[in-house]
């Protein structure tokens, strides 16, 4: 069952019922100011950091679902409704939500009165525009009351929920005509405030929640709205809000547009006040003046569209399959940009206070957007590397506002450092900018101990070499990519977190997933060394990589597939001798990407085992058989019910590793089959089962052992976005930047006739046409550039012009 449709022309997903199987959300903002918005206008806004600078309040996992947002209320002669259906939930005659790229347009119609709200964050601004367009489509004159509504969050979102004994006293506002200011804590250590403005004189307002909503009313029926009368309240403590009030009349056919603006301001310490206890509003007025008319707002909206035209123009696919095209050309790239901005901090599953920017997550996310915003990708790499430790280890996360690492969600994940090699290599391949390697980058943000970025990569590589276990395989530390395989944490205390306890530290548990990862990025490191003339360094690295390959073949092979790990006691994890969890996906993915034992047939065997034991209707599960009992020496993994999350869920992030592995041995059809199974556009028809947005990937889909296989959770903020984009574009379509040029090496189903791709790389545009008249899966028989045949399958003319590239497979 579907709840809307794709409008590819406008790059929108159009939702035509407010009662989606889960709130279907979108993100506004591209740089500093961000908002989450659901299809019924729920959500919240923040400046840079969803924890420390949250502007508006949101209640997660509430009853009813999705409570709080930018709400508008219309009261016409006692009929009360909201354009986004919620919170009032009066049935609408028409409802539509269009989620586009960094904007959302919600339209509701009741008895011939239409209200359309366009929401977006203009480029280079710190505000959310809410353009309201009211149209009288009926034959009669209409007269009604309009209320806006936002509830302020007292900045620190965690404190806001917890520290009520303080918070209910601190709230402060100022009112200046149509601008309602929120200035809690501005008097003391804060230099920032927020405002909610409208570009018309108001006929009333409210800034105190109780006056507006009523103590025992709900958002669905606020006192002021029901009575049709604002309270003109001034908040002192309790819960400050912002609500504007208008009495409006519209002749038949008449339209009225207004611009509401939610903004954030920072003042220099010595310019905080314009009079005693009166905030300096000059910068707010300047910000408002940029968007105080419909014309200015429309122009800003055009700029936003152009911004996306340009971002998406770097990779354009024409495959003849509209679902594939819309994912590759629009939604998958869009989701990658959202993960760039959010990492794992704020979604409708991530509450914005727990997780900042992950070291491993952010490095991996980068491979999905580096072609769109290479300069910002470079800045991101340096930010991440700046939190690294001098021994090559890493904080697991850093806070976006301060850019400082912290161990709030644990540390000592021994896969972390290696992902820095991935992101850096992809950045250089994209841009040709080796200069990044010479940048001086601090450790733990301490510039006095800075070293070149190249040294950071070297330390990342040697962090593995210096931390090997009894089988010569990498020590796992707290965990590797799988946060829940906590082999050095024996927890029988439900009050402690698996993420921060490590009571068997010093343990010798080893990870074959990290071993495979090390072979892949160790080879990459060595290749990079050769590129910059460090051949001795490369030779040394090769030796370590070779011994790792040997160690995997000797101690990491179980006969039909790669083992997953050795536990604290030196026992096998993920082997046939195990009762449950006999096989895991991660080591199959990484060891097949690393091609460990390819000549001996290991890669093919392992991938066949994946097909046989892990594949299912809705994707490849993480492990099997699922754990049905708690295994104390394995940690969090076996705490999950069978079929969910890391315990045999379809953890979509790792499916593309298998796809890439399949392309390594030329099995295009199998790779494609795996791709389609988890790709959201192909799941649109089963949205009632899938539940999350059909335009973005979810982290997890319930696996074959779950109660409801196919049901997804945790959409948006997942490495799945970057990895699937990487798998489809670089390995299945095979358009892959390398140090010395653009490689064309498709691995597709033999029945595909071909496809075309426009790829921008280093300022040059390649119009690539791949033809598969010989019906093969892999192999390039012939390639011409501007009509001239070339040797091999790498184009390397970077002259800033356009080139025609013809590729014949065979």
Q: Per-residue x/- marks for ligand GLC, 639-658, CB under 6 A?
A: ------xx------------
Instruction: Check residue 484 for interaction with ligand GLC (CB under 6 A).
Output: yes
Cα–Cα dist 5/13, whole Å: 6
The DSSP H or E segment spanning 297 is helix 294-312
Instruction: Check residue 368 for interaction with ligand GLC (CB under 6 A).
Output: no
Catalytic residue among 49, 66, 208, 483: 483
Per-residue burial over 377-406, b = 16 or more CB atoms within 10 Å of its CB, e = otherwise: bbebbbbbbbbbeeebbbbbbbbbeeeebe
List the interface residues with ligand GLC, window 498-517 (CB under 6 A).
Answer: 499
Of 39-47, 160-168, 275-283, 357-365, the window that binds ligand GLC (rule: CB under 6 A) is: 357-365
CB of 689 vs ligand GLC, minimal distance in Å: 22
- Residue of 358, 405, 581, 643 that binds ligand GLC (CB under 6 A): 358
CB of 639 vs ligand GLC, minimal distance in Å: 9
Cα–Cα dist 670/675, whole Å: 9
Biggest CA-to-CA distance, the chain: 84
Instruction: Check residue 360 for interaction with ligand GLC (CB under 6 A).
Output: yes
- Residue of 128, 206, 636, 684 that binds ligand GLC (CB under 6 A): 636
Instruction: Check residue 699 for interaction with ligand GLC (CB under 6 A).
Output: yes
- Residue of 347, 482, 488, 724 that binds ligand GLC (CB under 6 A): 482
On whether the CB atoms of residues 280 and 267 are closer than 8 A, the answer is yes
Number of residues located near ligand GLC, criterion CB under 6 A = 15
List Cβ neighbours of 209 (8 Å cut-off, separation of 6 or more): 151, 235, 238, 239, 240, 241
CB of 271 vs ligand GLC, minimal distance in Å: 40
Based on the residue annotation, tell me whether 483 is a catalytic residue of this protein. Answer: yes
Closest CA to 91 of 145, 19, 139, 22: 19
List the interface residues with ligand GLC, window 60-79 (CB under 6 A).
Answer: none
- Residue of 134, 248, 259, 409 that binds ligand GLC (CB under 6 A): 409
CB of 387 vs ligand GLC, minimal distance in Å: 15
Comparison of 264 and 627: residue with beta carbon closer to ligand GLC? 627
- How many CB atoms sit inside 10 A of residue 236's CB? 13
Instruction: Check residue 393 for interaction with ligand GLC (CB under 6 A).
Output: no
Chain residue whose CB lies nearest ligand GLC: 483
CB of 498 vs ligand GLC, minimal distance in Å: 6
3-state secondary structure of 131: strand
3-state secondary structure of 802: strand
Of 8-16, 224-232, 358-366, 545-553, the window that binds ligand GLC (rule: CB under 6 A) is: 358-366
Instruction: Check residue 361 for interaction with ligand GLC (CB under 6 A).
Output: yes
Q: Per-residue x/- marks for ligand GLC, 329-348, CB under 6 A?
A: ---------------x----
- CA distance readout (Å), 223 to 57, 180, 242, 767: 20, 20, 15, 61
Of 1-9, 105-113, 248-256, 476-484, the window that binds ligand GLC (rule: CB under 6 A) is: 476-484
CB of 485 vs ligand GLC, minimal distance in Å: 8
Q: Per-residue x/- marks for ligand GLC, 704-723, CB under 6 A?
A: --------------x-----
List Cβ neighbours of 251 (8 Å cut-off, separation of 6 or more): 136, 141
Cα–Cα dist 21/18, whole Å: 9
**Paired tokens of 744:** 């064309």
Cα–Cα dist 731/672, whole Å: 10
Instruction: Check residue 478 for interaction with ligand GLC (CB under 6 A).
Output: no
On whether the CB atoms of residues 634 and 485 are closer than 8 A, the answer is yes
- Residue of 181, 481, 697, 755 that binds ligand GLC (CB under 6 A): 481
Comparison of 56 and 499: residue with beta carbon closer to ligand GLC? 499
Cα–Cα dist 15/33, whole Å: 25
Cα–Cα dist 162/578, whole Å: 44
**Paired tokens of 457:** 């990569």
Instruction: Check residue 430 for interaction with ligand GLC (CB under 6 A).
Output: no
Comparison of 646 and 693: residue with beta carbon closer to ligand GLC? 646
Written as one string, the DSSP assignment of 302-353 is HHHHHHHHHHHTTEEEE-S-HHHHHIIIIIHHHHHHHHHHHTTSBSSSSBSS
Of 97-105, 478-486, 655-663, 762-770, the window that binds ligand GLC (rule: CB under 6 A) is: 478-486
Residue 125 per-residue DSSP state: -
CB of 361 vs ligand GLC, minimal distance in Å: 5
Instruction: Check residue 692 for interaction with ligand GLC (CB under 6 A).
Output: no
Of 225-233, 355-363, 738-746, 796-804, the window that binds ligand GLC (rule: CB under 6 A) is: 355-363
Comparison of 57 and 344: residue with beta carbon closer to ligand GLC? 344
Between helix 453-465 and helix 535-555 the angle, nearest 10°, is: 30
Residue 248 per-residue DSSP state: E
Instruction: Check residue 586 for interaction with ligand GLC (CB under 6 A).
Output: no
Instruction: Check residue 486 for interaction with ligand GLC (CB under 6 A).
Output: no
User: In sequence order, what are the beta bridge partners of 262?
Assistant: 128, 196
Comparison of 202 and 721: residue with beta carbon closer to ligand GLC? 721
**Paired tokens of 783:** 């390639």
Positions annotated as catalytic residues are 483
Binding site for ligand GLC (CB under 6 A): 344, 358, 360-361, 409, 481-484, 499, 636, 645-646, 699, 718
């Amino acid at each position: 069952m579907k709840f809307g449709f794709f409008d590819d022309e406008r790059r929108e997903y159009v939702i035509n019922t407010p009662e989606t199987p889960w709130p279907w959300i979108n993100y506004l903002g591209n740089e500093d100011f961000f908002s989450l918005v659901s299809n019924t206008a729920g959500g919240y806004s923040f400046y840079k950091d969803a924890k420390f600078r949250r502007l508006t309040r949101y209640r997660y996992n509430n009853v009813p679902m999705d409570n709080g947002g930018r709400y508008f209320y219309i009261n016409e002669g006692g009929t009360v409704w909201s354009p986004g259906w919620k919170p009032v939930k009066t049935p609408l005659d028409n409802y539509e939500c269009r989620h586009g790229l960094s904007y959302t347009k919600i339209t509701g119609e009741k008895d011939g009165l239409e209200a359309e709200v366009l929401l977006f964050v203009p480029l280079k601004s710190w505000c959310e525009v809410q353009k309201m367009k009211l149209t009288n489509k009926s034959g009669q004159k209409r007269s009604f009351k309009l209320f806006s509504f936002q509830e302020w969050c007292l900045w620190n979102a965690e404190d806001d929920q917890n520290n009520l004994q303080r918070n209910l006293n601190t709230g402060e506002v100022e009112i200046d005509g149509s601008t309602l200011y929120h200035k809690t804590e501005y008097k003391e250590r804060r230099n920032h405030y927020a405002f909610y403005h409208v570009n018309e004189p108001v006929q009333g307002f409210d800034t105190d929640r109780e006056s507006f909503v009523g103590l025992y009313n709900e958002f669905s029926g606020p006192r002021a709205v029901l009575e049709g009368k604002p309270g003109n309240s001034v908040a002192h403590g309790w819960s400050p809000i912002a609500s504007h009030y208008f009495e409006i009349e519209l002749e038949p056919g008449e339209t009225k547009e207004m611009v509401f603006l939610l903004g954030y301001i920072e003042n220099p310490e010595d310019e905080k006040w314009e009079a005693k206890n009166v905030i300096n509003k000059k910068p707010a007025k300047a910000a408002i003046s940029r968007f105080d008319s419909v014309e200015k707002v429309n122009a800003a909206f055009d700029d936003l569209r152009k911004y996306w035209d340009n971002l998406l123009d770097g990779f354009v696919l024409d495959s003849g399959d509209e679902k594939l095209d819309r994912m590759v050309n629009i939604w998958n790239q869009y989701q990658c940009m959202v993960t760039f901005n959010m990492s794992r901090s704020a979604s409708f599953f991530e509450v914005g206070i727990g997780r900042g920017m992950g070291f491993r997550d952010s490095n991996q996310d980068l491979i999905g957007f580096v072609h769109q915003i290479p300069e910002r990708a470079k800045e991101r790499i340096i930010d991440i590397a700046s939190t690294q430790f001098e021994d090559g280890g890493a904080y697991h996360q850093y806070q976006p506002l301060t850019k400082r690492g912290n161990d709030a969600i644990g540390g000592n994940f021994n896969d972390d450092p290696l992902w820095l090699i991935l992101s850096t290599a992809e950045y250089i391949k994209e841009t040709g900018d080796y200069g990044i390697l010479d940048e001086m980058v601090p450790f733990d943000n301490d510039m006095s101990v800075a070293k070149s970025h190249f040294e950071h990569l070297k330390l990342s590589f040697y962090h593995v070499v210096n931390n090997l276990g009894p089988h010569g395989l990498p020590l796992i530390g707290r965990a590797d990519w799988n946060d829940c395989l906590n082999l050095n944490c024996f927890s029988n205390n439900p009050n402690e977190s698996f993420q921060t306890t490590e009571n068997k530290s010093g343990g010798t548990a080893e990870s074959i997933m990290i071993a495979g990862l090390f072979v892949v990025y160790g080879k990459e490191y060595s290749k990079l060394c050769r590129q910059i003339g460090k051949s001795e360094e490369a030779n040394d690295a090769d030796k370590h990589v070779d011994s790792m390959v040997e160690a995997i073949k000797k101690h990491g092979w179980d006969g039909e597939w790669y083992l997953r790990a050795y536990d604290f006691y030196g026992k096998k994890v993920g082997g046939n001798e195990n009762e449950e969890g006999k096989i895991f996906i991660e080591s199959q993915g990484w060891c097949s990407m690393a091609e460990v034992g390819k000549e001996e047939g290991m890669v093919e065997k392992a991938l066949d085992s994946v097909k046989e034991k892990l594949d299912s209707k809705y994707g490849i599960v993480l492990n099997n058989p699922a754990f049905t009992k708690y295994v104390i020496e394995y940690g969090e993994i076996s705490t999950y019910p069978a079929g969910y999350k890391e315990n045999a869920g379809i953890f979509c992030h790792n499916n593309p590793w298998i796809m890439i592995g399949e392309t390594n041995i030329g099995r295009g059809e199998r790779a494609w089959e795996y791709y389609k199974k988890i790709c959201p556009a192909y799941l649109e028809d089963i949205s009632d089962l899938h539940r999350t947005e059909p335009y973005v990937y979810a982290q997890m889909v319930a696996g074959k052992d779950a109660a409801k296989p196919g049901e997804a959770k945790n959409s948006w903020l997942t490495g799945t976005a970057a990895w699937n984009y990487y798998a489809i574009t670089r390995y299945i379509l095979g358009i892959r930047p390398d140090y010395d040029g653009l490689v064309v090496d498709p691995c597709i189903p033999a029945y595909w006739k071909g496809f075309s791709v426009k790829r921008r790389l280093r300022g040059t545009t390649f119009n690539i046409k791949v033809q598969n008249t010989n019906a093969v899966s892999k192999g390039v028989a012939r390639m011409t550039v501007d009509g001239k045949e070339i040797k091999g399958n790498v184009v390397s003319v970077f002259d800033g012009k356009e080139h025609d590239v013809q590729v014949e497979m065979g």
